[in-house]
Amino acid sequence: MIALLEDGALETLLNQVGGDTSLRHRFLRDFVALWPSRAERLAESLARPDLEEAHVVLLSIRSTSTMVGAVVLEATAALVHTALARNDVPGCLRHLPRLIEVGEATCAELAVLATTAEDAERTQKAWREQQAQQQAHHGQQSHDGDHAAPPRRWEFPAQRAQH
């Protein structure tokens, strides 16, 4: 199977949005949600034919595909774009089914990756919050005069008997 996404695509996108994970997730969700309308707009513009509209849609597909690391989708859209630049509408229409197939597969993969990344980030956030609560609780116990014993280092039973 051909990899539809670049290795590290989510990390690259995160860097492009300034480290804002919620913005990255929104971008990925929007990319997936907008794919059907982009594919439909392209098919309709080629059927009329409205080459200017097809050009705009292809630019949108190519630029957003690049941002999410969808290299196969971008390359397939580039084939259609090249045919369009030559006013070869029949050539565009020949590539269209493959573009739609790759777009749908890419969106499925992105949806899984985005969900996995969101789940991992939620888990990390919950863990950090739990750690902060434990530290705050431990700090509060110390301030209340209820000094909890610090964690003991591990001692083997033979070592305890010698003390």
Task: Give the tens place of pLDDT for each residue, 91-118.
Answer: 999 999 999 999 999 999 988 887 877 7
- DSSP secondary structure letters along 113-146: HHHHHHHHHHHHHHHHHHHHHHHHHHHHHHHTT-
Question: Which of the pair, 128 or 80, is modelled with greater confidence?
Answer: 80
pLDDT at 34 over 90: yes
Distant-in-sequence contacts of 60-67, Cβ < 8 A, 24+ apart: 61/99, 61/103, 64/31, 65/106, 67/13, 67/16, 67/27
- Full-model pTM: 0.73
Task: Give the tens place of pLDDT for each residue, 67-96.
Answer: 999 999 999 999 999 999 999 999 999 999
pLDDT at 156 over 50: no
